[in-house]
Structures are given as structure tokens and as C-alpha cells.
Amino acid sequence: MRCLIDINIFLEVLLNQENSSQARPLLQKSDIPELFMSDFSLHSIVLILLRRKASELEMLFLADTAQSGSVDILRIMPGDLTQVIAVARRYALDFDDAYQYVLAVEHELTLVSFDSDFDRTPHGRQLPSAI
């Protein structure tokens, strides 16, 4: 299964939040052949970790994701942001959610998220436990 992992899945684990026990097994599974995240999520996670002064977490996260190649990074080109805006308006999504959604649809990925806002869209989302 090809999955786009939403930022909240990573943050649950990195920050040991309420749903971390549900998210952690997904990120530790070795039988999922292709995991993806957006460049928007990657940059946002680093920003959040920097604000929390969590330098060890930052390095572990970067090593385990972007640098190791275990998670492929996808991005939307600036010229295609109009599509993100259109999706945000159509489904009443925040910009970051619309960004994730457009990537998932364009790359035919299953969107994995705790965010119920994706339930308003035709493609929806899956919880980590369903993967």
C-alpha cells in the first residue's frame, strides 16, 4: 500500500502525544513498501521541533525520514498551488490539509491521518490502525 502520512501522525510519535501508541506501529512497520510525506509536513515538523528546542528529536526525525529515504518527500510546485486553493475552498479545508489532499490524489496515495476534516472529501482518510 502506498501511503501519504499526514503531519499529525509524525507529531504524535515525536512529541509522545495522546495518540502516539496508535501512530507508532505504522511508522515502525517494515512491510509497507512506500511511505510518503509532503515537503510542507517536513518543514512544519522541523519548525515545531525547533520552537520546542528539541534538537535530538529533530536529528532523529530527519535521519529516520528524509535522509534515510525510508519516507519519500513529495511537493507541489508553486504554479500548481491554485489547485490547492481550489480544493481548500471546495471542501472547507485549511491550506495544509488541502496540500496533503492534493498530493494524495495526484499520486494515488492512501492518506493516513487523525484529522477528521479529510472525511469531507471524496477520498477521505485512513487511521493508522487500518493500515
Q: Is the pLDDT of residue 68 over 90?
A: no
Percent of the chain with pLDDT over 90: 61
Residue 75 lies in a domain: yes
Per DSSP, the three-state class of 73 is: strand
Residue 74 lies in a domain: yes
Residue of 74, 41, 46, 48 whose CA lies nearest to 61: 46
Residue 13 lies in a domain: yes
Q: Is the pLDDT of residue 44 over 70?
A: yes
How many Å apart are CA 57 and CA 35, to the nearest integer? 20
Residue 122 lies in a domain: yes
Residue 46 lies in a domain: yes
Residue 30 lies in a domain: no
**Is residue 94 within 8 Å of 121, Cβ to Cβ?**
no
pLDDT of residue 30: 59
Q: Report H helices in 2-131.
A: 7-14, 20-28, 39-51, 55-62, 81-91, 95-106
Query: Is the pTM of the predicted complex or chain greater than 0.85?
Result: yes
**Who has greater pLDDT, 7 or 14?**
7
The total of structural domains in the chain comes to 1
Q: Which domain holds residue 116?
A: 2-25+35-130
51 Cα distance to chain centroid: 19
Residue 107 lies in a domain: yes
How many Å apart are CA 81 and CA 78, to the nearest integer? 5
CATH at residue 123: 3.40.50.1010
